[in-house]
Amino acid sequence: MTVLPDELFSNLIWTALETEHAHFSITRALARRYVLDVSPFASIAEPSRAALDDLAALLTTPADAVWLFRASLPAHPELKVLGSLPCFRMTFPAELPVPEHTRNDIVQLTAADADDMVALTDIAFPGFFRRRTVYMGDYFGIRDPTGRLISMCGERIAVPGYAEASCLCTHPDLRGKGYGEALLWRVVRHQREADVINFCHVSTSNAPALALYRRMGFAIVGEAPLIRVAHS
């Protein structure tokens, strides 16, 4: 069974923003966040008043909300908690084989597809995918005969040797046709070819997604609660 190393994953966003995604980082001493149009994730080095002061300084307006991989935060006069999202962290075990490519309509997506990608992901999880999220990793999609993007999946958070499979999304009118599974396999295959170990995050309440991941062989390796925070 694949085990994700604690030294990389105990403070995942902090690690990502000092390594693979350092070029997307906005940092103030004990707090870090992704550039606003790349990702809504942020992190603190420790749950201290000084770290929360730094996080508050990085949030410019009440509308500029970020997600942190934490179950809770100490109270702070300049920060407000907007909500939480319990998630599982999962991985596709390195010892399991990845099926061969079975579709010829999967295309690689680029920055030129950003508007279509934002529009599709906003149907399922508004705000998580931004105009420059596409630069976080490699993305793949399927378009219908009219050219409309109907399904996509790609890579988001990255730390040395590991990359997240994320943004799996299919238009609600076309779910159940195998698009999402085919695209997720495409991303996992891409990561295997790059000698990168896969991980992903799934909401604990998203029963259809959890069923899909489990059927494909993904294993839960821990909990990864998210909390949404903004400047008060």
pLDDT in tens, 183-208: 999 999 999 999 999 999 999 999 99
Q: Within the chain, which residue ranges are assigned CATH 3.40.630.30?
A: 6-86, 89-223
In this prediction the pTM is: 0.96
Q: What are phi and psi of 216, to 5 degrees?
A: -75, -15
CA angle 65, 46, 136 (to 5 degrees): 50
The answer to whether domain 89-223 has CATH 3.40.630.30 is yes
Q: What is the pLDDT of residue 3?
A: 84
Confidence class of residue 1 from pLDDT cuts 50, 70 and 90? Answer: low
Fold assignment, 6-86 = Aminopeptidase (3.40.630)
Span 150-157, average pLDDT: 98
Mean pLDDT over 13-41 rounds to 98
Q: Rounded to whole angstroms, what are the CA distances from 204 to 84, 85, 88, 90, 141?
A: 12, 8, 6, 11, 25
pLDDT interval class at 102 (50, 70, 90): confident
Q: Where are the alpha helices (DSSP H) in 90-178?
A: 114-124
